[in-house]
Chains A and B, each alone.
Chain A
Amino acid sequence: MRRNRIQTAVALAIGGLVVALSLLAPLLATHDPRATSPDAQLEPPSRSHLFGTDLLGRDVFSRVLYGGRRTLGVALLSALVMLAPGLLIGMVAGFAGGWLDTALMTALDAMLAVPPLVLALALVALFGSGSVQIAVAVGIAGIPSYGRVARAVVLEARNRPYVEAARAIGARPAGILRRHILPTIAPTLLAFAGVTLSWAILNSAALIFLGFGGDISAPDWGVMLADGRQAFRTAPWVALAPGIALSATVLAINWLADSAVSR
């Protein structure tokens, strides 16, 4: 459909732009993203500083460019940690049913009950502060939700007539899984994958906001957003730039997930 084509095109464009800019950051950045210049703090956008400067006089444009690498990297790692086990558990539970289902769901519920904050604290204690640790903590915290959705969708698909028919004929479970169930549940799962990616980005930002970040001087959209709150009334550009970057990225991810559906 035409609309979806436009949507997909825009999403690809944005996504491509974000990835390209992140990769090309060293070439495109006008300043060293970590170089402080306190005399030039909180300057509005100008020719020398495309997005202005922050509280310590660092160039926001360069930081947004480099920040993309970090933020995207963390988000991907986080999503990976979340999706793989979540999907596996959810599908096994939904498909197998019975005691296995109950056992797995119980484990997932228990995980949900532990506040991500406590989880993050433990991980940071074991492995030190840092973006990787936050990514893993957020990822683990997200497993139960993805698992549950995966299971719900599998359950729904499993009981469709054609699946029943396939089983009646005696088709193997693996075959049923691959040929019938996967295509049915793929769209919802992809959509939720998009959601989890965004969730990962935001929750990492939240943990950073609460103080569990590692290298605080490294450019990172989440860190920049949290810091940007402090001066948002006198210098809104400090948070606006990473904010727009973040929102655009999430939008693109979600639209791409949508287009994966419309085939």
Chain B
Amino acid sequence: MDNGRKRGRTPLRFGVLGILLVGCLLLATIVGALALGGDDEPARNPGDAIVYGLTLNPSGFDPHIHQSSELGIPFFSVYDTLVYRHPQTLEFVPGLAERWEMAPDGLSWTFFLKQNVRFHDGTEFNAAAVAANLDRIMNPDVGSQKARVLLDAYTGYEIVDPYTITLRVSQPYAPLLDALSQVYLGIASPAALKANTNNSYQWHQVGTGPYKLDEFVPGRLIRLIRNEDYNWGPVFYAPVVDDSLDTIEFRFYTDPATRSLALESGEVDVVGELLPTDAELLAGNVEVDVHQVPVPGTPQQFFFNTRHAPLDSMTVRQALLYGTNRTEIVDAVYQGRSPIAHGPLTSTVMYYDPAVEQMYPFDLDQARALLASQGLADTDNDGILEWEGEPLELTVVFGPWNQMPDVAQLIQSQWRELGIDVELIQVPDFPSLRQRVRDDDYDVISFYDFGVDPSILNRFYFSGAVNNWSGFSDPQLDQTLYEAMRQTNSDARRTLYSAAQIRIMEQALVLPIREYVNLVGVSSDLDGVVFSAQGWWPLLRNFQLTR
């Protein structure tokens, strides 16, 4: 009976495994269909084309609206700005404006625009175009994050004639030209702006620059192709030659550890923000060059929360500055590939005062003496200083970017030598960082920003400024910074910013670590790799592909 039944039954070994096999084959076919019939893969264009790796996928790519410096990497070349900063001399050179004048009272600036300039869509560039752009940036509905902040004291414009426009400011405003030289103030085609919504424009950007936006697939690809009509560039743009790039494709490489691998496998021709250890490794590779590109701005730094004792004591803060061995940090974490920072600004920022370099050499004895002078002593011999009866513990908060965790761990070790316990708090993202600020839940916090004009100090050091995370309020500093912003005379600004930098360091409001250096890996086939004055943005116009 049993035998009969079993013989009649299908051998389920094949049945069960068979089902699985069929299932797998079915899935595999579906996969194949999806992968192969995939959406139009952009074929590698003929001609001189490179792949450029972006390291961060920012929340948006519209220069007028969004604030990430990453967006400028492709889009700096899609737009022209009214003025440019020369990458070497840092002086302002003509861009879309062939010359400009400031009124004697400093309350208005008149720009005389170049003629015979066309946008990529064929429309004409003129004063009305500039006006349309300014309107867009200042429109609260647009929600501009950086461009509008940069314009600060700007109040409005006046079109004098088709190629002349005057910008008005509420008070003399020295950083105006600097603002106008950044990609965030790139001039877009009003026709294109009108043809798109505020949100869709970022994927159909039209400027006057040496490259046009050809295709933009969010999160995956940005393709630029050369603008053949371009002949109105700033003086530092190279002329077009055989080896100039026809096409540039941008892809996103957000994981640091695989950037060098992509470079070595040849899948990408340029990628920035290489890990310092990878840069060391690539030094020996003949197919890849590593460029060290300084980025001006504030250094990578930590602010002291002056509202929390004992950091409310200037002497204690100074002690911490003396007690931090920055050379050790830069050598270990950044493989010595960055200059050590000494002040609130990097040495490549305008009006940097080298005097700050002498202010806090690494001196453990001095640090200990200063701490002792404030009544901090190790009364119970446990290696930790006591402050008002309690062991001294400081909370250091930072994000995961730019090797800050490694820096923080070294600081923890170093300050342990001074007898200070450090609690390390790594937050995963920027909103979490801000939350800790709102909760006033930090003693030392990492925060920095980039820019060539020293007015970037304002947002960190003005009393009551949103990003004044040291909580320090100094009318004298306020006055200095305010004046320096109004002064258009270069020497006057220099004097004022010197005073500001020295005052900030005297008060020991910030612990500078290193000047930001972008380690950019470049295929050795690529020549002419230079970056803009602001450091982040490549001058794609000058790149030449020799293969």
A interface residues (Cβ-Cβ under 8 A, vs B): 34-36, 38-39, 41-42, 55-57, 121, 124-125, 129, 210-217, 229-235
Contacts and interface: CB of A to CB of B under 8 A. Distances in A.
B398 to A, nearest CB: 10
B415 to A, nearest CB: 12
A30 B248 CA distance: 53
Nearest to A40: B332
A39 to B, nearest CB: 8
B524 interface: no
A56 B409 contact: yes
Contacts of A232: 257
Given A38-B410, A55-B332, A55-B406, A216 B426 contact: yes
Interface size class of B (residues with CB under 8 A): 20 to 34
Closest 8 CB pairs of A and B: A38-B332, A211-B428, A36-B413, A211-B400, A231-B277, A229-B257, A217-B409, A38-B328
A211 B332 contact: no
A124 B436 CA distance: 13
B442 to A, nearest CB: 13
A211 B426 contact: yes
A34 B421 CA distance: 13
Interface of B: 256-257, 275, 277-278, 280-281, 328-329, 331-333, 399-400, 405-406, 408-410, 412-413, 424-429, 432
A26 B328 CA distance: 28
A97 B410 CA distance: 57
Contacts of A57: 332
B11 to A, nearest CB: 22
Given A211-B399, A216-B426, 13 more contacts: A36-B413, A38-B410, A56-B410, A56-B413, A125-B432, A129-B427, A210-B428, A211-B429, A214-B425, A216-B409, A229-B257, A230-B256, A230-B277
At the interface, is chain B mostly helix, strand, loop or mixed?
helix
A66 to B, nearest CB: 15
A179 B356 CA distance: 79
B281 A234 contact: yes
A232 B278 CA distance: 10
A37 to B, nearest CB: 9
13 contacts: A36-B413, A38-B328, A38-B332, A38-B410, A55-B277, A129-B426, A210-B428, A211-B400, A212-B428, A214-B425, A214-B426, A217-B424, A232-B257
A127 to B, nearest CB: 13
Given A41-B332, A230-B256, A234-B280, A36 B409 contact: yes
B371 to A, nearest CB: 21
Contacts of B408: 216
Contacts of B412: 217
Contact of B425 (A34, A42, A129, A233): A129
* B257, B331, B332, B333: residue with the most chain A Cβ atoms closer than 10 Å: B332
* B257, B413, B424, B432: residue with the most chain A Cβ atoms closer than 10 Å: B413
A216 B405 CA distance: 8
A256 to B, nearest CB: 29
Contacts of B406: 55-56
Contact of B257 (A124, A129, A230, A234): A230
Contacts of A214: 425-426
Nearest to A37: B413
Nearest to A228: B257
Contacts of A121: 428
B413 A233 contact: no
A41 B426 CA distance: 22
Contacts of A36: 409-410, 413
A217 B414 CA distance: 13
B13 to A, nearest CB: 19
A126 to B, nearest CB: 12
A57 B405 CA distance: 15
Nearest to A42: B277
Contacts of B425: 129, 214
Contacts of A34: 413
Contacts of A213: 426
Contacts of A215: 424
A119 to B, nearest CB: 14
Nearest to A213: B426
Contacts of B329: 38
Nearest to B413: A36
A216 B411 CA distance: 13
Contacts of A55: 277, 332-333, 406
